Amino acid sequence: MQGEAANAPVLQASDANRHEGHEGVERRRRIKDQSPPPLDTVHAEQEILISPKVDAALERARGFFALSLAWPVALLCRDFCVEGCRARKRQLVHEGAEQVLRIQQACRTELADRYFSFWAFFAEEEFYLLSLPVLHWNIDSRFARQIFFVVSGGLVWGNLLKDVFQLPRPKHFEPKVWMPSTVQEVDTTACRDFGFPSTHAMNSVSNSLFTVLYRLRHSPTAPRATGVGAMLLLAGAWVFSIAFGRLYLGVHSPLDVKAGLLQGLFIALVAQWPLALCEHVDRWLLTAPHANSCLLLLLAVVLVLHPRPRPATPTFLQNCELCGMIFGTAAGFRMEADRRAGRGPLGLGVGSEAAAALRAGSNALALPLLALRTAVGCVLVLLTRVALKALFVRAFCTVGLDPRPPKLAPRKEAGDTAQRDIKGWDLWAAAVTKVAVYAALTWAVVCGCPAFFEVVLGLPCE
């Protein structure tokens, strides 16, 4: 009995060591499973889509496209090896997850939870899609057009980099960071895509700084120093509320946010200052003979060569929506410019007392008419989206394809990505549906609704 009692601590220690060793093996296995594949082995599908030779050539083209996107970023990080750059960044993301946890432990309150969750919406695609009609119909058509191209183009670029570098979010590391229970409220993809760079942080800088620079460039009078200071203060508050919120909510690491901020700064400066690239692109889209055809070809190449890691992420279909919106906006503004110049089929406006009130800015009539125009336009746009989506889904289902992405699983099932995967020809049917529906949606916002306002309601968009 004494011998057994003496051996008990030894046996317990041995069991503890075996248990600890088993946990270590499991931990190393999980880390290995989370490791992304090399950039030259990004596979879109395992089955044959067209033919073995065509599919193989397409895979090689996608690999080259991924490397061409990743190499400039690696050079900016003073690294000539893309794979080495990505491995080092992955380690930084792992360290950043611990920093995020410390931020949450130091700052988290119920009021802050609500505040940063609320501000997350102001960098989502839905916010910009809602802002486009309000700006275009009621405020400044040129500003609406330019900032929409800046934001949507930046989002496409950021999403491409996400699927190229494939860096995980902080939730994939131990210890686990806190995230909202309804993660869809702070991220439209439910954080099922990769994290680097943070497109929310990118948008917060690009749209706020672009707005300030646009105001300074197009102001009829020289702005006062107090006005400039107020604009910069508001822009800084906007950036902080969104960018820091990504850390607070546990959806991005400091590396992701830093990369997004730098990317947004680059986009805003290139677009507005000093070359005013956005003005030149804007003029080309409105006047060049084959601008829409060239833009459509460019967007098609981007989508065909879009890297699609396995398991699939929502990024590809999200970029399909964005590319559709870019083309629909460009085509719509071109047709709207022709219509206003009298070159389109609805080029002759209809004068009315309501239109005169809008031009004069009468307080008695202007605001109610603006509200009426906006409400009618939103209803028309919503009906357009519902009708077109139902039409495309019915058409593809008739030929045996299902373009509807599976619904999001609850958060507790978030790691089971295989059950929510859409692939093969169903994926391409979903891509065509996304592009067509969102192109028609933005065309209706930019050209269809203004023509309806002017011809039917007598309320032209100035």
The full set of domain ranges for the chain reads 85-182+192-279, 288-409+418-462
CATH architecture of 85-182+192-279: Up-down Bundle (1.20)
Which residue blocks in 193-224 are alpha helix, DSSP H? 199-218
For position 225, what pLDDT does the model report?
73
The answer to whether residue 13 scores a pLDDT higher than 50 is no
Closest residue by Cα to residue 460 from 391, 376, 358: 358
In the block, residue with structure tokens 């592009």: 435
| pLDDT tens string 89-130 | 888 888 888 898 889 888 888 898 889 988 888 877 778 888
Q: At 291, phi and psi to the nearest 5?
A: -65, -45
Which of 83-87, 147-151, 406-410 comes out lowest in average pLDDT?
Answer: 406-410
The answer to whether residue 30 scores a pLDDT higher than 80 is no
Residue 409 CB partners (closer than 8 Å, separation 6+): 416, 419, 420
Under DSSP, the state recorded for 172 is G
pTM to 2 decimals?
0.81
In the chain, % of residues over pLDDT 70: 76
If one compares 393 and 73, the residue with the highest pLDDT of the two is 393
Beta strands per DSSP E along 287-412 = none
Angle 425-443/315-340 helices, nearest 10 degrees? 30
